[in-house]
Structure 1
Amino acid sequence: MKRPLTTLPVAVAFALIVGLACMTSAHRAQAITTPEILQSSMSTQCLDYQVIGICAWLYCSAWGCTVRTSIRVKHYIPELVVSAYENTGDNPWTEIAMLSPPTGDALGGGSARESLAQQHSNTHFKNVDAIGHPSELFYRFASGFGWFCESNSQPLMPYFISTLDALAWRSGVPEMAYPEALTPGMREMGSVGDLWSPIYPRSGFVSQTHDYKVAATAAQRAADVVTRSGQPHVYQPLIARDSESNGIWGPDPVKEGDAETHEWQELAPNMRMSCSTFPDGGENDQLQDPGDYAWALWRPYRCCKKRGQELLYFTGE
């Protein structure tokens, strides 16, 4: 769906954010800034723009009814920036770090590490923030391909901040008693021989020795929460736009390893201009210990221009 590409509130918000960047922790070498995130959204591989069919609309007026057609397209949209980081208040997205200071029961971060190698008791903790992607530049980029879709994601909206969800994110209550948490092989990220971690309980504690896998698991858990409604967490749901009568087909909630629901683009510590699902190979060259990481969450949409009062049929996947 077409949308106004420049609005005063968004422009003002971007100006304020860039200004705030000068007052934040510039000494953090691995931080990422809003202008860099905007630039990262101009990725043809992540966009994956495709014309997949047509839509046929019944258009009626005082002079009779006709059938009008429009192309049906599919592409991904960056909806969230999801950061997983070690210490409370150290979100690697420079301008957003101030949103998650230590508060209440969320006073710090870190991990419990084994004192002896044979104990195998590494438990790492990550704070996670899921913030609306500053996607204005992306929509300018997508418009160059022709008709494009848009999502409900609001730029810079805090959808999930783990310090505000301290009870569930730091205790695993009540999800530690869910069947998904108690049943081996159910809702797990990775595969036999390369199992990263179970998705449940969706908390910040991950039993894993590899810091990148810890951060990726925490980010996946947060996305799993945010893209669903009615979860036992403190968050703002981000439900995909889905209205066939208006020519919009949104994705299902995020499911680990399923590219039909999402893909990830690494933003920090090293930016990539490509997207994939976890496991993504990032563990081979993106290890920090302890580390702060950020990804853009891209989700696939299908849409066509509405050219009548009723959608008669559509073609394509």
Structure 2
Amino acid sequence: MLGVATSAMAINTAAIVASSLSPDCLAWKVVGICYWLECSSFGCSVETSVKVRHYIPDAVVSSYANTGANPWTEVRVMSAPNPTAQAGGDGTTNQGHEDNLARFKNADVIGHPAGTVFSRFASQSGYTCEGAAAPFMPYLLSTLDTIAWRYTIPESVYPESLIPGRREIGSRLTDNLWGNVYPRGGFLHQVHDYETGAVVAQRAGDIVTRRGQVHVYQPLLADPHDGYWPAGALMESDATTGKWQELTPTLSKTCAVFPNTDTQVQATQGDYAWALWRPYSCCERRGQTFLGSVDHE
């Protein structure tokens, strides 16, 4: 059921940090064994360490209607209006029965602020991995990405934008199509404002988890090394690449992928924010040379 929020909802840093203490989103798990070659003056031996996988809240992704009104209050100054990016909102004729006009959302992807608080929480489960994000680091601000975000140049002519069924969130066959990932800009024809916000958040996450995209952004990616397998490209509806924790207008203790079946609360001001959790695998170094790993899955 689609609900309607009774008041404009914002969220602050303290609430975002507290929301990261979620066992459901963390999903810590032993997935294999790593092998290391340890050598000393007395000879060499093969040592092992446990390989673990868990999710990390890399970023807060805000999707909001009015430029400069990021629902994460402390970071609003990062995405203030500028000469190329002002105003916002939906295309409308104030007719309630019309649902074929474009909705618009700004989007910001900013490093999750949980930092050491999350690290202490996660370490209670066992050995933990390092994420790719730096707290409060802006990885994408749509106000600085005007050509791609507001005019969808050049992605409006990409095959993913023109061919039905390519890179879509939901399915036409199940009558649960939320929207298309491409073109990865702020406009979407969608009757539900919540679903619009989710699709735009997915688009922003899609951009920052890839290199070499035609957008103004900073990749949110870490380089793999011995005993460390960082998260890669985010894919819609695939929890093995990332999942979402709603922060506002409702604060959820669990994570899901879009489209989800949870109650969808529409924000009165069209402002939404999610934490993007991504999977990392790693194991503790036990020798000078990494020999490989074996997964149980």
TM normalised by structure 2 equals: 0.93
Contact preservation (8 Å) 1:83, 1:92: yes
Higher relative contact order (CA 8 A, sep 6+): 2
Contact preservation (8 Å) 2:243, 2:257: yes
Contact preservation (8 Å) 2:109, 2:138: yes
| Aligned ranges 1:273-292 → 2 under 5 Å | 273-282=253-262, 284-292=263-271
**SS state at 1:145 partner:** coil
Out of 5, 9, 30, the position equivalent to 1:30 is 9
| Aligned equivalent of 2:3 | none
Alpha-carbon distance in 2 for matches of 1:313, 1:285: 44
Contact preservation (8 Å) 1:211, 1:290: no
**SS state at 1:142 partner:** helix
**SS state at 2:169 partner:** strand
The amino acid across from 1:264 in the alignment is W
Alpha-carbon distance in 1 for matches of 2:281, 2:211: 22
Following superposition, the deviation at residue 241 of structure 1 comes to 3.8
Alpha-carbon distance in 1 for matches of 2:184, 2:290: 40
Give deviations 1:168-218, integer Å, cap 9, x for gaps.
Answer: 100010000101101110000111211111110000001101000100011
Greater helix share, structure number = 1
The amino acid across from 2:28 in the alignment is Y
| Aligned equivalent of 2:4 | none
The amino acid across from 1:93 in the alignment is W
| Aligned ranges 1:49-64 → 2 under 5 Å | 49-64=28-43
Out of 273, 285, 288, the position equivalent to 1:294 is 273
| Aligned equivalent of 1:216 | 198
Out of 159, 165, 171, the position equivalent to 1:179 is 159
Contact preservation (8 Å) 1:79, 1:135: no
The amino acid across from 1:207 in the alignment is H
| Aligned equivalent of 1:25 | none
| Aligned equivalent of 2:252 | 272
| Aligned ranges 1:1-317 → 2 under 5 Å | 29-114=8-93, 120-136=99-115, 137-192=117-172, 193-243=175-225, 246-282=226-262, 284-316=263-295, 317=297
Contact preservation (8 Å) 2:194, 2:264: no
Give deviations 1:284-307, integer Å, cap 9, x for gaps.
Answer: 431134420100000011110011
Alpha-carbon distance in 2 for matches of 1:303, 1:145: 14
Give deviations 1:134-193, integer Å, cap 9, x for gaps.
Answer: 132111111111210011211100000000111110001000010110111000011121
Alpha-carbon distance in 2 for matches of 1:127, 1:297: 17
Q: Share of identical aligned residues, percent?
A: 51
Contact preservation (8 Å) 1:45, 1:275: yes
TM normalised by structure 1 equals: 0.87
Distance 1:223 1:70, change over 3 A: same
Alpha-carbon distance in 2 for matches of 1:114, 1:63: 81
Structure 2 stretches lacking a partner, 5+ long = 1-6
Contact preservation (8 Å) 2:59, 2:112: yes
Alpha-carbon distance in 1 for matches of 2:8, 2:161: 37
Following superposition, the deviation at residue 115 of structure 1 comes to 5.4
**SS state at 2:179 partner:** strand
Distance 1:118 1:92, change over 3 A: closer
Following superposition, the deviation at residue 116 of structure 1 comes to 5.3
Contact preservation (8 Å) 1:251, 1:260: no
Alpha-carbon distance in 1 for matches of 2:132, 2:231: 12
The amino acid across from 1:262 in the alignment is G
**SS state at 1:107 partner:** coil
**SS state at 2:224 partner:** coil
Contact preservation (8 Å) 2:60, 2:276: yes
Structure 1 stretches lacking a partner, 5+ long = 1-27
